[in-house]
Chains A and B, each alone.
Chain A
Amino acid sequence: MIRHRLKSWLTSIFKRHAAENDLQRELQSHLELETEEQHESGLPADEAYYAARRAFGNPTLVGEDLRESWSLAWLEHFSRDLRYGARSLLRSPGFSAVAVLTLALGIGANTAIFSTIDALMLRPLPFSSPDQLVRIYSIKTGIADSFGNPDGPSAPDVRDFAQRSHSFQKMVVYDTWRKNVSFGDLAGEPEQMRVGLVPAAYFEILDVKPIAGRLFTEDENQVGKNFVAAISTSLWKDRFAADPSILGRKIRINGEPYAIVAVMPDLTPERMESGLLDSPKVWTPFAFSDVWSEPSRGERGYLALARLKPGVSIEQAQADLSVIADALAAAHPVDQGVSVSIKKLADTRAGSLRPMLFLLMGAVSLILLIACVNLANLLLARNSARQRELAVRAALGSARGGLIRHLLAETLLLSLAGAAAGLLLAKAGLASVMMMHPSDLSQLESLEIDWRVLTFTLSVSLITALLFGLAPAITGTRLNPADALKQSGRSGTAGKGGKRMRNLLVATEMAMSLMLLVAASLVVQSLARLYRQSLGIRQDHLLKGHFYVPGVRYPDPAAIARFCDQLAGRVRALPGVIDATVTTIYPPNNGWTQMLGIPGHPATRIQDIPAAQFGVADVHFRATLGIPLIRGRDFAESDIATSPPVALITEEFKRRYFPSSDPIGQKIHIGPPQFMQLPPGAGVTDSSDVTIVGILGDFRNNGLALPPEPQIVVLYSQHPLVNYGFKDIVIRTVSDPSSLAPAIRRQLHDLDSDMPFAEVQTIEALVEEESGGQRFTAVLLSLFAVAGLVLAVVGIYGVVSFVVAQRNQELAVRIALGASRANVLWLVLKQGLQMAAIGAAIGLLGACATQKLTSSLLFGISPLDPATFAVGAALLLAVAAIASAIPGMRVLRIDPSAVLRQD
């Protein structure tokens, strides 16, 4: 290709060179002859030469004139066509601007969104043979809602899966825990971070090799031998300035020293799922004393990763594991009703945002379609209006090739301008995506324009432009010029086929933009509802933060309780603090579901065991959060470690488990029933009984979007078995809550200088963050809907004004013959409205058909919400009416006598 081009370029240079010599020779011979003649007529030789030169004129100038005429003919023609095209585009700036804008929107929006989606979900994972990597989940069926979601398996289950299955090269169970990590005096503040608890197999499955050092040994997975750590490259750089002698240095995790044995690459599946901030940057061996023992089989929630054998499909692997899971369920009571599910690692990326991204992908594809349709329409209208011009030019002897070349140049100019504008738009779009992207998508860190996408969108619009830009030219130039001239002169209507085509295109546009409109409006309404959601607490002026009380320095629950009480007491004494509570829960999330024994709810199967969201707090819980007390009493200072354990429940708890009786005074057993044969201490269990003393108003404990689940709150001082080191503190303040964060951190450090204060945030900011994904979708979808609507309006405007121009004479005749202007206006309006009505009908059907795509993003509104549908359709019709009325008004100004005298 390039060689060929080079060759033709070289020959053209040589040819030119030859022609140049030729010319010199020709001029020289002319000059000589002239000199001779002058000499013969009697002038002396030297004078004759000058006379000849004078007669000849300036030979250089002659050469220059000539050279101009040599420049490659096609290039000259084409550049003339380009110039002419540019002029004729500039002569109709409205058309050109709209066409370029249309292209820019289609190309820009699609390039931006598809580049984003590619970065998030489509790009192959950066591991070797990524298609072989799978995650393994346990699914418990038939208990509470939250149990229906995929959950992590237990270690013994994974061990059995690995031993009995035939589909995997390797399988690993691991976990990530939040721990306090200090890096030594030189490396800055202690930090609470997720630490990966992983055997070497984790890295082996991913095929991730240490940058320095070694993987953990099998031996190091035993408690007591596990004091070795691997750190990520980014941590190595941030905390240790990429110190080359890092291996062997000690860091402290939860107060215990660990020797660094490896520096690992940054990239792990966790980093792709939970983002930069919260992904493990430190790993230690998978060492638990009792995790492999049979009683731990019911202890689920671990992470599992596996690599399929080459050639084994995910379905085969799933079938393989399902058989094993059935056998386990039959053999172990705690595995009853537990099934297994595997997913490609690539499909777990972007987690909960996947449906939203699919929706956006659909939406932006619609924009591209609308843009193409619009472009087609514009070109059709413009070129059929020029049918006459083309015919005149053909009649005057312009070659058909020349006409096509001219239209080609015009179309090319338009497309290039559109592409340039689209590229700018895509850049701006990506910049804004980066700015507002939900913070948990680390893969957006390296977001840039995907040139494949740009090429694709560009080609789609270019093909559209060429197809519709040239089609009328080709058919048009094939017309007998005489016919075309006659036709467009008097009868003044486009061919029936062209008209139907245009109407169809506009109706399609309308349909697609209505679909966008409906989707955007549904998502925005959902978001509004989400914001209006009451958390069930007084959510203003609340600050929350997390800390971990490590077992090394606080060996028993009593010590933990003491530390928590001390901290809360100091914080409550701070100026500007109204109240504070140390708790494991705060709305809108909870995440700790507890099996219970409740009077009147005997359970013999695992599916029937009552369960509720479980929280452990101090006595200031209700007062600090501002939860209304419906009945009974709140916790009191008199509820101490040695007094009878008490509990608060929510209204939903009462509705679910005490629908007709009074719960106050009832005793509840915390923990699974005896038949599950769990020894005390295994899992999150507490065999003690509590007495319900009060009923609280419901508060959000299952995210913003889902209704509150039954909730029970107990005191950590009374339940040492569930008094773990993980605690949050929630503070109610007088003024701006975030301003108190440093003071609270100081109190924490006064008590224990090695304890990080993490996840400090106001509750209001937390709510904002929770709805970040929805807001992202809502903003983008609304933009798309507006863009789609604008494009559709332009489309309808274009067609109607075209029709008005074409039917000018017919309308003038009607007016001349006595039709009222209103009637004539209606004739024009009707056309726009018909297209809009057909489009709206198709669009509503389309919105029904695609409801699956939207429904998962909606909250409190049906994907078929009739009001939204009606308003959307009405808006579309209204806009269409206005868009057709503007050119329609021209009808009112028609002067029949003037129009009819034309031509």
Chain B
Amino acid sequence: MTPKASPNRAELLQGTLDMLILRTLLFGPAHGHQIAKHIQRTTDDVLQVEHGSLYPALHRMEQKGWIISKWESINEGKREFKFYRLTKTGRKQLASEQSKWKQLAKAIALVMSPASNEE
């Protein structure tokens, strides 16, 4: 399951990582590894989240107040993870990014395959 194993890997569109993280956290608190894994799994390994962009993104979003973090232990305290959870602002941000994204996707779709619009 190394990144090299997936030939269909796609580059993340600039600015969409934040949205994906926010969307992931909508299901509940998660730590960095879970977030990365979740995005990877739900996209059938198409989107590989680079750790080099994941953590800076998380910290940036925390500074903006979209998410908050807390160290929590799992497995009876054997190990600690930093869990991120969505804030109210984060929820609003997600909504606005989602709608922007939809518009964008629709627009791109119109350009790329005009016929599909009539379907």
Contact = CB atoms under 8 A, between A and B. Distances in A.
B15 interface: no
Nearest to B1: A41
Given A29-B80, A34-B33, A57-B50, A23 B2 contact: no
A55 B31 CA distance: 17
A358 interface: no
Interface stretch (B20-28, B52-60, B111-119): B52-60
A66 B33 contact: no
Contacts of B2: 51, 54-55
A41 to B, nearest CB: 6
Nearest to A37: B1
Given A33-B33, A51-B2, A55-B2, A26 B55 contact: yes
A47 B60 CA distance: 33
Nearest to A73: B63
B80 A27 contact: no
Given A26-B82, A32-B79, A62 B51 contact: yes
Contact of A57 (B51, B63, B71): B51
A71 to B, nearest CB: 11
A66 B59 contact: yes
Interface in A22-60: 22-23, 25-27, 29-30, 32-34, 37-38, 41, 51, 54-58
Contacts of A29: 31, 33, 79-82
Nearest to A56: B51
Interface string B46-77: 00001111011001100100000001000000
Contacts of A26: 31-32, 55, 81-82
Interface string A267-311: 000000000000000000000000000000000000000000000
B1 A70 contact: no
B55 A61 contact: no
Contacts of B56: 62, 65-66, 69
Nearest to B3: A55
Contact of B82 (A22, A37, A58): A22
A23 B80 contact: no
A68 B52 CA distance: 13
Interface residues of B, number: 20
Given A22-B82, A41-B1, A54-B2, A65 B52 contact: yes
Contacts of A55: 2-3, 51
Interface string B1-39: 111000000000000000000000000000111000000
A715 B22 CA distance: 114
Contacts of A66: 55-56, 59
A27 B54 CA distance: 11
Contact of B51 (A25, A30, A32, A51): A30
Contact of A30 (B1, B33, B50): B33
Interface in A353-379: none
A33 to B, nearest CB: 5
A532 to B, nearest CB: 78
A65 B58 CA distance: 12
Contacts of B59: 66, 69-70
A48 to B, nearest CB: 11
Contacts of A41: 1
User: For the complex, would chain A's binding face be called helix, strand, loop or mixed by DSSP majority?
Assistant: helix
Nearest to B80: A29
B60 A62 contact: no
Contacts of B50: 57
Residue among A26, A61, A70 facing the most chain B CB atoms (10 A cut-off): A26
A35 to B, nearest CB: 11
Nearest to B55: A62
A61 B53 CA distance: 10
Given A57-B52, A58-B52, A25 B3 contact: no
Contacts of B53: 65
A57 B55 CA distance: 12
A69 B60 contact: yes
A764 B33 CA distance: 95
A38 B33 CA distance: 13
Nearest to A33: B33
B80 A61 contact: no
Nearest to B56: A65
Residue among A30, A33, A38, A62 facing the most chain B CB atoms (10 A cut-off): A30
B55 A23 contact: yes
B47 to A, nearest CB: 15
Residue among B3, B52, B81 facing the most chain A CB atoms (10 A cut-off): B52
A22 B31 CA distance: 13
A27 B55 contact: yes
Given A51-B2, A73-B63, A30 B52 contact: no
A51 B2 CA distance: 7
Contacts of B55: 23, 26-27, 62, 65-66
A54 B51 CA distance: 11
A691 to B, nearest CB: 108
Given A22-B82, A29-B81, A69-B63, A62 B32 contact: no
Contacts of A62: 51-52, 55-56
A818 B57 CA distance: 62
Residue among A38, A56, A58 facing the most chain B CB atoms (10 A cut-off): A56
Contacts of A27: 55
B8 to A, nearest CB: 17
A25 B82 contact: yes
A65 B31 CA distance: 19
A25 B70 CA distance: 13
B59 to A, nearest CB: 5
Contacts of A56: 51
Contacts of A57: 50-52
Contacts of B51: 30, 55-57, 62
Contacts of A73: 63
Nearest to A68: B56
A343 to B, nearest CB: 70
A33 B42 CA distance: 19
Nearest to A70: B59
B4 to A, nearest CB: 9
Contacts of B32: 26, 30
Nearest to A30: B33
Interface in A575-624: none
B31 to A, nearest CB: 7
A69 B82 CA distance: 18
Interface string B63-104: 100000001000000011110000000000000000000000
A679 B32 CA distance: 117
A144 B12 CA distance: 102
Contacts of B63: 69, 73
B2 to A, nearest CB: 6
A51 to B, nearest CB: 6
Interface string A722-749: 0000000000000000000000000000
Contacts of A33: 33, 79, 81
A608 B80 CA distance: 114
Nearest to A54: B2
Contacts of A25: 71, 80, 82
A666 B80 CA distance: 126
A481 to B, nearest CB: 20
Interface in A6-32: 22-23, 25-27, 29-30, 32
A37 B37 CA distance: 11
B61 to A, nearest CB: 10
Interface of A: 22-23, 25-27, 29-30, 32-34, 37-38, 41, 51, 54-58, 61-62, 65-66, 69-70, 73
What 5 A-B pairs are tightest by C-beta distance, nearest first? Answer: A65-B56, A26-B82, A30-B33, A57-B52, A33-B33
Given A30-B51, A65-B56, 17 more contacts: A25-B71, A25-B80, A26-B32, A26-B82, A30-B32, A33-B33, A34-B33, A37-B1, A51-B2, A55-B2, A56-B51, A57-B52, A62-B56, A65-B52, A65-B53, A65-B55, A66-B56
7 contacts: A29-B80, A29-B81, A30-B32, A54-B2, A55-B51, A57-B50, A61-B52
